[in-house]
Amino acid sequence: MSMARGFDPRRLDVAAFAAEHGALAGELPLSALPRLSADAVPQDGGEAAQVRWSAQGVQRALAGGGVETRLHLQAATSLQLPCQRCLQPVTVALDVQPSLRFVGDEALAEELDADSEDDVLALGAPLDLQALIEDELILALPLVPRHERCPQPLPWSPEASSADGVPESAEHPFAALAALRRDGGTSG
């Protein structure tokens, strides 16, 4: 993570950052975000995945008095997740750009968050920007990661099945009865 003008991304004073229209940017290794990388497929010898991020603080005067404090965040990465159909790795690109509004206390944040399309958080303790980036990327993960078209045919897939959905190679349980009926079904 990069630090600019004395702002620590791990303990960010959002109000001061926004008042100075601060900007921070950097890269994080995916391994620095353990909750995000927990389900990822380990990379084989290749270059480790990186998360590129930037944060911009904005504070502007409101018409009725007071100020509005915002944090514009951008984070992007790609990671390998297991495809839920074939279990082979599938590359998932994540790109988030939330704009977070900060207000004086939790009660006001809760009230405004219910009525606003924007995420509303309370000012207070210093913000861990790395944890916020990880949270936003986790929220962007697909519920069911999968290939558009799996690279290998599945053991039971439409390509390997007949029109009625039964694999062509499977023996039908009543095939012997059908053969008896064709032969006249006589027994001695």
Would 182 be classed as within a structural domain? no
- Could you tell me which residue, 19 or 120, shows the higher pLDDT? 19
Residue 162 has pLDDT above 70, yes or no: no
pLDDT of the residue at 3: 46
The backbone torsions φ and ψ at residue 71, rounded to the nearest 5 degrees and listed phi first, read -130, 115
Would 159 be classed as within a structural domain? no
User: Structural domain tally of the chain?
Assistant: 1
Would 188 be classed as within a structural domain? no
Q: Which residues contact 129 (CB under 8 A, 6 or more apart)?
A: 1, 9, 10, 12, 24, 53, 55, 73
Q: What whole-number distance in Å separates Cα of residue 63 and Cα of residue 131?
A: 33
The model carries a pTM of 0.72
Q: Which domain holds residue 19?
A: 14-152
Q: Is the Cα torsion angle 174, 179, 184, 188 positive or negative in sign?
A: negative
Average pLDDT over residues 174-183: 77
Average per-residue pLDDT in the chain? 81
Would 186 be classed as within a structural domain? no
Burial classification of residue 22, based on how many CB atoms lie within 10 Å of its CB (0-12 exposed, 13-18 middle, 19 or more buried):
buried
Would you state the structure tokens that stand for residue 29, as one six-digit string? 């290794």
Would 5 be classed as within a structural domain? no
